[in-house]
Amino acid sequence: MPDEAGGARLSLALHCCAAGADKFYDKINFTNPNISTSADLMLLKLLPLFSTTLLYVLYYLISTFKFDVQILTASVPYDYLLQLFVAYVIYALSKRVWVFLVIHALLMGLLYIGNAVKISFFGGPIMPDDVFALQSLLLILDGWRFFLAAIPLAAIASLILFNFTMRHWSAYLASLVIILLGITVVYKPATILDPLDGYFGNSVWDQRSNYIWRGATLYTLLESARYFAAAEVIPDADMAEEAAEKLLVGVLPPSQPVVLKKEPVAKTFTPRNVHIVLLESFWDPSMLKKAKYKQNPLSPEFRELWKSAEYSHALSPVFGGFTANAEFEVLCGFPVVKNSVKFERQLLNDVPCLPHVLADKGYRTIASHPNVPVFWNRVNAYKRTGFQTYWSLQDFVQDDMNREFMSDSTLYRQVLEKISGSIDAKQPVLDYIVTYFGHWNYPLSDSRPNKISSPSPVEEVTAYANTVYYKSRELMVFINEMRKRDPEGIIVVFGDHLPFLGENFAGYVESNFLAANRSDFTPTMFKAYVSTPMLIIDGKRGPVKIGSLPLYQVPKLVLDLLNFDEPTIMDYAAPLPNMRVRALPGLHFNILAGGAVDMCKEPPYSETCQLSSRWLENISIVSNDLFMGRQFTRPKYVPEKQPKPVLSAEVVIPPAIAEAK
């Protein structure tokens, strides 16, 4: 990586180049015939070549040596020439040369450094859907991290508007190129994808390799085109009902609406309180054998309870972030199959998810999360899934904080205080809690001193272990209190995803738990990559032994524990015989009887992968119909005639807020 002196020399060179070029620009202004010398004009025309070359070398070195993300040498000429073309387009539309240089530096920094940062954190580069998650990303960042992300984006947009000009024929030509390219990407993406994918190849599941093979500029162009080519299809009635029929037992007459079929249940539905706790980044650090913790970070009491469930695990759709996708699965019972946040753009309808089903049975349905309410579009998402009440950060007393993250102990205590009236009145409650403590970079308050140490050079290995030390113990206080107050209640606790432990999975690589690159993962690693601790306590009967359970199958299991015998949308994603399917963006794997992992990446598929692939295709069709379409596959059932609970004004979701983004 260039040292400070080298950086200063580069900055001085760019400054001098910009100052000189602006002087020439003011003299000729592209249309002034009084050009002092042909050398002046030549220097001006070559400016994008100089800036592209200098910036490309600088960013390539930073990406390689700082983030260990290196574009293949064979791909550099294509990538460089395409970036040079982009530079000349921006240059043709620029009013001032120094502003062009700033815009060019920021844009290339976003493409080359931004992608390298995301790859090192999450294993994959920036995707088009990340644009829709930008608001949530900025909300979660603080201090210098917020300004590091926000300032370049704001600067690029502002400077482009400030510097835009149409003074020269080259500007009209550049505008024409942009318009034609935009039309092609949006309306005819196959004309770009087919020849370039044929030449460079395309891995649906390994986006890091796609980025390295193509370079930042071509990768961004191709994935933008792919975004429009692979836009979600809203199914018509025939398509939706055909997919639904294939997911259910029996074949329905084409003229009849889809009505889910259920086997008779001997037991009668008995309302019991349901407490679901999503634990931010909750995982067992003792899996890191090279961390050499002198003390096990996980609470011994939790481990003992977890052992009685035979160390059951949740299979999450995400790693290191995107908590909302884990929420979607555990609330609505459908797998997330793409690299996008379901709450943001793909939950457009009111849908009978678990909260909605229980609300129709007289439950009081409450979601609690001590974050800003609009994060991941939760205000709208919670309303559409059936929650009557949403308590966010402003609804809690912030009396025990770890920096901006509310401690779990005060969150549990305050939620219990809020719902105690319903518990005492024997009104059934769906109590859904999303914790915030445990989020990267794992800060602790002064009242929580470090208890765990490790010789690992990856700082997150130690920081995370200390977080889990407190998080697991505060969880056990909550579980013990809840089992005492509500002995017949159902308690579900699980980690939403594995924690971030350094760039390129550094903390995991150190212990040979994961490889540094997803393309090198073994089937066992893929399973470990999405496996977090899970406990389901069935009242006085205690922990349920569930093995490795995909999160989207949790709501159906909860309804089964309640002896719920009516059809629901959760019936569509009932497990296939002798296997459990975990979908991830671009691939999926099956856990077979006996625990073997069958990876399904690219054709030709095994027999079980063919079965699960067809199943996922039908699941996607029904999911699009229910959550974004006309809901032809929505089950028909009659809710009980019970009055909805009357809640105080300060806890009910106001209509105006419910429609806010």
pLDDT digits (tens, 9 = 90+) for 347-357: 999 999 999 99
CA-based nearest residue to 332, from 655, 614, 626: 626
Residue 373 pLDDT: 86
Pairwise pLDDT comparison (488 vs 659), residue with the higher score:
488
Q: Which of 317, 121, 118 is nearest to 219 (CA)?
A: 118
Q: Is residue 21 very low, low, confident or very high in pLDDT (cuts 50, 70, 90)? A: very low
* Distance, CA of 550 to chain centre: 16
Token couple for 42:
């030549």
Query: At which residue do the structure tokens 């930008």 appear?
Result: 134
| Residue with the larger pLDDT of the pair 545 and 642 | 545
pLDDT one-digit tens code per residue, 558-589: 999 999 989 999 999 998 989 999 999 889 99
The more confident residue out of 527 and 127 is: 527
- pLDDT band for position 120 (50/70/90)? confident
How many other CB atoms are there within 10 angstroms of residue 474's CB atom?
22
- Report all structural domains of the chain as residue ranges with CATH numbers, in order of start: 4-229 (no CATH), 264-570+636-658 (3.40.720.10)
Burial of 19 (0-12, 13-18, 19+ CB in 10 A): exposed
- From the list 606, 569, 599, the residue with the least C-alpha distance to 583 is 599
β-sheet bridge partners, residue 402: 405
Which amino acid is present at 492?
V
Look at residue 175 in the predicted model and tell me its pLDDT: 87
| Residue 414 pLDDT level (bands cut at 50, 70, 90) | very high
Answer yes or no: is pLDDT of 426 > 70: yes
Q: Specify the pLDDT at position 63.
A: 93
What is the pLDDT confidence band of residue 594, given thresholds at 50, 70 and 90? confident
Cα separation of 652 and 654, whole Å?
A: 6
Output the pLDDT for position 209. Answer: 87
What pLDDT is attached to residue 139?
59
**DSSP summary character for residue 121:** H
- Residue 12, pLDDT > 50, answer no
Instruction: Tell me the average pLDDT of the chain.
Output: 85
pLDDT of residue 298: 96
Contact between residue 472 and residue 299 where contact means Cβ atoms under 8 Å apart = yes
pTM, 2 dp: 0.78
Q: What's the whole-number mean pLDDT along residues 628-650?
A: 60
pLDDT band at 639 (very low <50, low <70, confident <90, very high): very low
Answer yes or no: is pLDDT of 34 > 70.
Answer: no
